[in-house]
Amino acid sequence: MDQIIIFCAKYLFFLVVVIAFVYWLKLAKRQKIEMIFFGLITLAIAFVLAKLGGALFYDARPFVTDHIVSLFPYVADNGFPSDHALFSAVIAVTVYATSKKWGLVLGGLAVLVGISRVLAHVHHPVDIIASLVFAVLAGLAAYFLTPKIIRFAKKQ
C-alpha cells in the first residue's frame, strides 16, 4: 500500500498533465488558444496566491512536527500550500472551463494527489485544502479575465 501512496504522491500529477494534454490536442484551434490563455492566467494567479499564502502562514511538514517518518525523503521546509496539489488542481480547473466531465475527472485525481501527500506524511490536510481553494479562486478570476485579455490581444 505504501508504494501506491508514494506513486500517487510523487507521480500522479504527471497523469493529470498527460490527460489534459491529450484532451487539449483534440480541441479546435480557437479552443486550444482560449484554453492556453485560461490556463496561464489561472496558473499565474494561483502561483501568486500560493506565494502570498506561504509567506503569511508557515506549516512545518508532518514528519517534522509529528515526529513521524515520511514515506519518501523530503525537504523540511514550509508545506503550505502543496505545490503538487496546486498544480494538479490548476490543470483540473483549466480543463473544467472547457469540459465539466474531464475537469471533474482531473479534479478527482488532484484530490487523490493531495490525499496521497497527506498519507505520505509530507503535508497536512490544510496544505492540500488551501491548494485546492487557491486553484478554484484563480480559475474564477481567470473566467472573468480571460475574455478581456483575449479581446485585448486581438486588438494588438
Residues 39 and 94: beta-carbon distance below 8 Å: yes
What is the pLDDT at residue 60?
Answer: 94
pLDDT tens profile 98-151: 999 999 999 999 999 999 999 999 999 999 999 999 999 999 999 999 999 888
Residues 122 and 62: beta-carbon distance below 8 Å: yes
Average pLDDT estimate for 90-105: 98
Domain edges within the chain? 2-155
For the cut 80, the answer to whether the pLDDT of residue 7 exceeds it is: yes
What is the pLDDT at residue 5?
Answer: 97
What is the pLDDT at residue 117?
Answer: 98
**What is the Cα–Cα distance from 22 to 28, expressed in whole angstroms?**
13
Average pLDDT estimate for 65-84: 94
What is the pLDDT at residue 154?
Answer: 81
For the cut 90, the answer to whether the pLDDT of residue 67 exceeds it is: no
Q: Work out the percent of the chain whose per-residue pLDDT is above 70.
A: 100
What is the pLDDT at residue 105?
Answer: 98
- The x, y and z cell numbers of residue 108, run together, are 478527482
DSSP at 98: T
- Indicate the fold that domain 2-155 takes in CATH: Vanadium-containing Chloroperoxidase; domain 1 (1.20.144)
Element (H, E) at 8: helix 2-25
What is the pLDDT at residue 18?
Answer: 98
Residues 85 and 117: beta-carbon distance below 8 Å: yes
Of 8, 18, 15, 20, give the one whose Cα is nearest residue 96.
20
Average pLDDT estimate for 69-86: 95
Averaged confidence pLDDT in the chain: 96
